[in-house]
């Protein structure tokens, strides 16, 4: 997957499913420009589903590691924008609305 961010750079990485307990749990591992792991937990609440997502990753691009101390606020802003658009895209794809 290649992801264009809201800033000037893009990231290339792959997700691998390492564990799946349908329909409530998915564990992922990432490699490439990001290295880490994540967990999706799905919780039914009435007619809705709550998604809990935990993600821990580190950038593998050297310039990102070097710039992190002073670029951190921009990286956080960028991350939040990209995640928000991803959630909205997933919601559109599933034909659901966000609550």
For residues 72-96, give the mean pLDDT: 91
The confidence band for 87, taking pLDDT boundaries of 50, 70 and 90, is confident
Q: Identify how many contiguous H helices and E strands the chain contains and give both numbers.
A: 1, 5
CA gap 39, 2 in Å, rounded: 21
Of 59, 86, 53, which is closest to residue 74 (Cα–Cα)? 59
The confidence band for 97, taking pLDDT boundaries of 50, 70 and 90, is confident
Q: Degrees (nearest 5) of the Cα angle 23, 17, 2?
A: 120
Phi–psi pair at 8, nearest 5 degrees: -85, -5
Local structure of residue 88 (DSSP, 8 states)? H
Q: What is the pTM of this model?
A: 0.77
State pLDDT tens for residues 32-78.
999 999 999 999 999 888 999 999 999 999 999 999 999 999 999 99
Retrieve residue 16's tokens.
Answer: 């691998």
CA gap 25, 39 in Å, rounded: 7
The confidence band for 24, taking pLDDT boundaries of 50, 70 and 90, is very high
């Amino acid at each position: 997957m290649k992801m264009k961010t809201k800033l000037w750079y893009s990231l290339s990485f792959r997700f691998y499913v390492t564990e799946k307990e349908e329909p409530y749990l998915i564990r992922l591992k990432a490699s490439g420009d990001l290295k880490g792991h994540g967990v999706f937990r799905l919780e039914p609440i009435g007619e809705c589903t709550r998604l809990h997502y935990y993600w821990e990753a580190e950038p593998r691009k050297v310039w990102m590691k070097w710039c992190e101390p002073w670029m951190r606020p921009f990286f956080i802003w960028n991350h939040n924008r990209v995640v928000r658009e991803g959630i909205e895209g997933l919601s559109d794809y599933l034909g659901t609305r966000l609550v």
